[in-house]
Chains A and B, each alone.
Chain A
Amino acid sequence: MVMQRADNSGSSLRFYWRKAVSVTMYVLSGLSALVAIIPLVLIFYYTLSLGLSAINVDFFTQLPKPVGESGGGLANAIVGTLVLVGLGSCISLPVGIMAGIYLSEFGNNAFGMAVRFLTDVLNGVPSIVTGVVAYTMIVIPMGHFSAYAGGVALAILMIPTITRTTEEMLKIVPQSYREAALALGISHWKTSLRIVVRTALGGVITGIMLAVARAAGETAPLLFTALNNRFWHTSLDQPIASLTVFIYNYGVSPFDDWIAQAWAGALVLMLMILVLSVAVRVATRSRFEER
């Protein structure tokens, strides 16, 4: 109604109304950014305050104590997580890096497109499903839970991240580097490995660290592959402890002592992942500044 009136006061009212809407919407969007930060701050606050009060030297050096005995630590779980991520890396690194090289250097065809698409699809597969697959593929034939099965489940999760970041990073390497090397008579495969991969090595390592960080935080694929173990593992053929599965088991337990240790475990896990992602951030930033 206001708009239809041609006099000045009406249109200026309309103008101020539109201005007000603009400012309000921008304030609302700023508020939603603030609201999104709140859970992050709260999660950090609770993990830090509850985790710190339960953390001590024993936590890193002792085995879990039986129910009713206080104290003890999760040393075997920390080592177990490292072993599982190491196993996952052993399987996923060659596959991921080589597939990434293929996609970047030779993948400009229908097969390359298909692999690229399926890698993205694999990236979206729920982690619990990879656990089920590792169970049917390894645990059932072997007849028991094992660190190997857990490593395979984690590897399936790591492959797409490594493949896609390797591809993206190799693609950043200028085409002229390849041409210069080939013009000097260096064979194609040496160009790929010694020139292209080496130039993009920082980026490739970034991708690997991202995948490692994600795998270290996974619980669901380990629940029925690596299972859990309250003692040191003596071989990779056995169930093995992991930080995440311990956090889950202890977190839902009725014992205050265990719940406190679950928070300490969460803190250690978060610190591991935080260090990795900050390192990635610093590595990528310096790379972009160079360019």
Chain B
Amino acid sequence: MLSHVINESQLAKASTGGRNVGDLVFKNLAMFFAAMILVLIIVMVVEMWNSSALSREKFGLSFLTQSIWDPVQEEYGALPFIYGTLVSSALALIIALPLSLGIAIFLSEITPPWLERPLSFFVELLAGIPSIVYGIWGFFVLVPWIRSDAEPLLSSSLGFIPLFRGAPYGIGMLAAGMILSIMVLPIVSSISRDVLKAVPRAQKEAALALGSTRWEATKIALSYSRSGIIGALILGLGRALGETMAVTMVIGNRPTISASLFEPGYTMASVLANEFTEATTQTYLSALIEIALVLFVITIIVNSFARLLVWSVTKHGDAASRQ
């Protein structure tokens, strides 16, 4: 391949006085930088794989299933963190799903164009707020509200479910889920809006022509774009899984697994943020790096899956609207 290019350029050099050497250099330089992104990802994986060797050899697969995290005894199990990450993210999606569907429908079906632009801008502004600002807002405003209002209300009305039992600390899994849901709303709702807009007009017009109400036509659009909306949700999940600062400030940072959402928890990202600089022994550091590796692998799988879903849908939508 390369020799072919060189031959071509040598030919060109002979005929045009060497101007195409510039082309060759430029193209290969651009390719070099593009390849650096590939190399970067490989280096990231290799670095984390090598640096976590100590912990991988000592604990093996039980690292993922052990729930004791005791730096004093050099016992490391990542289960409470994996549990905390998954539960807080799932909670965030459960809260965010109906809201962001509502926003997407509102923006794509109802809003007049003059209102749509500023509204989309506001929703996207939410995405631009730094995680640390969500964190101190959550810590000083959301958590006290959860402690004084939300948790007493939930435990008095739904206290028969173990999820909503326990003392109202404020900080805990519920607070983490709520702050995460606010943070994933922009991405989920803006992608859902794009996916809904990619539904061919003819689909909705056909439904309306058959006598359905506007909501029934919207329902048809929703089922048409189902996999795109699932993709948007999974992209939101990817964001929630890796979110660090806001969660660290409100989740309580205690490596326990408890049934109640009122209890404190801990996530993979939070334990890295809190304990990385305190890791005094090689095994401790290596265990933390292994947690980073696990988090990396989980988010890569989740994001790849979501990208493929959104990609297949928007492509499909484009193709359908052109027909």
Contact = CB atoms under 8 A, between A and B. Distances in A.
A128 B292 contact: yes
Contacts of B276: 131-132, 135, 223-224
Interface in B223-256: 235, 238-239, 241-245, 249
Contact of A126 (B22, B29, B295): B295
A125 B299 CA distance: 6
Contacts of B213: 18-19, 21-22
Interface string B284-320: 0000110010011001101110010000000000000
A114 B128 CA distance: 28
A188 interface: yes
Residue from B32, B103, B132, B273 having most chain A Cβ neighbours under 10 A: B132
B48 A99 contact: no
A192 B27 CA distance: 10
Contacts of B141: 42, 46
A269 B133 contact: yes
Interface residues of B, number: 89
A198 to B, nearest CB: 15
Contacts of B27: 102, 106, 188-189
B236 to A, nearest CB: 11
B122 A270 contact: no
Nearest to B24: A189
B269 A128 contact: yes
Contact of B44 (A119, A133, A248): A133
A71 interface: no
Interface in A83-130: 94-95, 98-99, 101-103, 105-107, 111-112, 114-115, 117-130
A269 B128 CA distance: 11
A125 B133 contact: no
Contacts of A193: 26
A16 to B, nearest CB: 11
Contacts of A127: 242, 244
B110 interface: yes
Nearest to B183: A39
Nearest to A19: B213
A51 to B, nearest CB: 10
A128 B168 CA distance: 30
B125 interface: yes
Nearest to B123: A36
Given A98-B29, A219-B132, A224-B277, A128 B125 contact: no
A76 interface: no
A238 interface: no
A233 to B, nearest CB: 18
Interface string B1-38: 00000000000000000011011011101111111111
B134 A106 contact: no
A213 interface: yes
Nearest to A155: B40
B128 A277 contact: yes
A22 B214 contact: yes
A115 B34 contact: yes
A262 interface: yes
A119 B100 CA distance: 26
B122 A37 contact: yes
B106 A30 contact: yes
Interface string B48-62: 101100000000000
B299 to A, nearest CB: 6
A281 B214 CA distance: 32
B110 A102 contact: no
Contacts of B273: 128, 220, 223
Contacts of B241: 126
B129 A270 contact: yes
B307 A121 contact: yes
Interface in A15-44: 18-19, 21-23, 25-26, 28-33, 35-37, 39-40, 42-43
A281 B117 CA distance: 11
B38 A32 contact: no
B107 interface: yes
Contact of A247 (B110, B136, B243, B296): B136
Nearest to A266: B133
A121 B303 contact: yes
A220 B123 CA distance: 24
Contact of B40 (A26, A35, A159): A159
A103 B269 contact: no
A47 interface: yes
Contact of A121 (B41, B103, B107, B292): B41
A206 interface: no
Given A25-B218, A33-B102, A121-B303, 6 more contacts: A102-B33, A129-B295, A129-B296, A216-B130, A217-B132, A266-B136
Top 7 A-B pairs, shortest CB-CB distance: A126-B242, A32-B102, A217-B130, A189-B26, A124-B303, A98-B33, A22-B215
